[in-house]
Structure 1
Amino acid sequence: MFNRTTLVILVVALAAGLGLLASQRFFAAPAPAGPAMETVRLFPQPRTLPDFSLRQSDGTQLVPGELKGHWTLVFLGFTYCPDVCPTTLAELAQAQKQWEALPEPTRPRVLFVSVDPQRDDPDRIGEYAHAFHRDTLAATADVPALEHFARSLSMVFAKVPAAEGAPPDSYTIDHSATIAVLDPQGRMAGIIQPPLQPKAIAADMAALTQASFK
């Protein structure tokens, strides 16, 4: 019989597999005309995200309208993550440094969304995200709101309980490592899949920005 941890991992794996199938359907048609991409995979048609409300590190609400006007890269994670999250944010920070010369009003943005609200309060996620790059946005919410937001991006996450005998708060979280690409209308326009290539990400985001704000 499966134990609880194994069951959670299987559920995440199944959901991730379904997300992959969905993404394959998105990419079955040719990508829209535009600048050639090195690592960003654009959907044939961007899709509008359902309403959501997250809590930013400065205490303000992050709602769909707040994501308009910029290309935005969205990454789900948590501050206690031992490897994938810090590595991803460090690589995204390398890309951010390369597009710093772009005008601030249209400069691409990175949004880190913590899926661990039990341990990650707004102050903590802000300090964590800004340690990688000062411009990184950080937000979280309660679990139902986070699940709703993750599903809208075709992503998943699940809490994996602590090992028997370990402190209860030593749990971890399995989550998607894919990065969602949102266009200046706040729609999901594509994805970036690991392994990440910071120079290619920077080049793609600069090209998309220049094409959108000529």
Structure 2
Amino acid sequence: MRRLLHLLALLCWPALAQAQVQGVMLDAPVALPDLAFHDETGATFTSADLKGQWTLVMIGFMSCPDVCPFTLGNLEAAVAETGMRVRPDNLPKVWFLSVDPDRDGAFVSEYAPFFHPDFRSMTGTRAQIDRFIDATDGFYRLLPADKDGYYEVQHSSAVSVIAPDGTLRAKLQPPFDPGLTAEFLARLQLSYRKEKTQ
């Protein structure tokens, strides 16, 4: 999968400044491990919550200066466009997973809803975060802290597209055009329905 994403990035490199569909449908669904995330209010987000709905999951951290807020804003626009192409019960849910629980854990639930009230943000133990990252071929790294204890976080920006059966089906790489991305997601849903009726 990593080779496929790198190829996609190379093909799209000349047009990265323009929003487009930088998405790839995976050759085969990827089963995800059991997940158990939470926020500071006591709400939990588990593998069971992925079943029966489409879910878009991005990783990041709340003090991210650019990639995270841009991608969540991009997702808000793409989901709004998708709502004009699919039934309301097929509208994707959006989850933001913080890979920086030490700094974000106390108020993580407040982040994603800032971009849309239906978006959810969560975090988890390092083991749970790493399990999801490994399964989705993602990446993050906490850089060494400076003398004041401040540290940066590097992370992949791809958005995981998870089907109602709880499997990873596609990845989206921002920036993406909302209308074209909505078409991509609608086609993905159609392909999924055909697969399930065969």
Asked if TM exceeds 0.5, the reply is yes
5+ long unaligned stretches in structure 1: 1-18, 26-37
Looking at structure 2, the residues matched to 57 and 89 of structure 1 have their Cα atoms a distance apart, in angstroms, of 20
RMSD (Å), alpha carbons? 2.4
Change (3 A) 1:45 1:57: farther
Residue 183, structure 1, aligned to residue 163, structure 2: yes
Which secondary structure does the structure 2 equivalent of 1:161 belong to?
A: coil
Give unpaired runs (5+ residues) of structure 2. 8-20
* Aligned equivalents of 1:46, 1:212: Cα separation in 2: 10
Partners of 1:194 and 1:55 in 2: CA distance = 26
* Structure 1 segment 1-214 matched on structure 2, within 5 A: 20-21=2-3, 38-56=21-39, 58-101=41-84, 102-121=86-105, 124-163=107-146, 165=147, 167-168=148-149, 170-209=150-189, 212=192
Deviation at 1:191, TM superposition (A): 0.9
* Between 199-208 and 39-48, the greater mean CA deviation after superposition: 199-208
Number of equivalenced pairs: 180
Structure 2 distance, partners of 1:58, 1:138, is 11
Structure-2 separation of matches of 1:192 and 1:125 = 23
Query: Within 2, Cα distance between the matches of 1:152 and 1:183?
Result: 15
Which residue type is aligned with residue 115 of structure 1? Answer: V
Partner SS state of residue 42, structure 2: coil
Query: How far did 1:100 drift?
Result: 3.7
TM-score, normalised relative to structure 1: 0.74
Q: Among the aligned pairs, what percent are the same residue?
A: 32
For residues 92 and 59 of structure 1, what CA distance do their matches in structure 2 show?
A: 25
Q: What amino acid is the match of 2:160? A: A
Once the two structures are superposed, what CA deviation does each residue of 1:104-137 show, in whole Å capped at 9, x if it has no partner?
A: 4332111110001001126x22221011111112
| Structure-2 separation of matches of 1:52 and 1:202 | 27
Q: Which structure would you say has the larger Rg?
A: 1
Q: Secondary structure at the match of 1:118?
A: helix
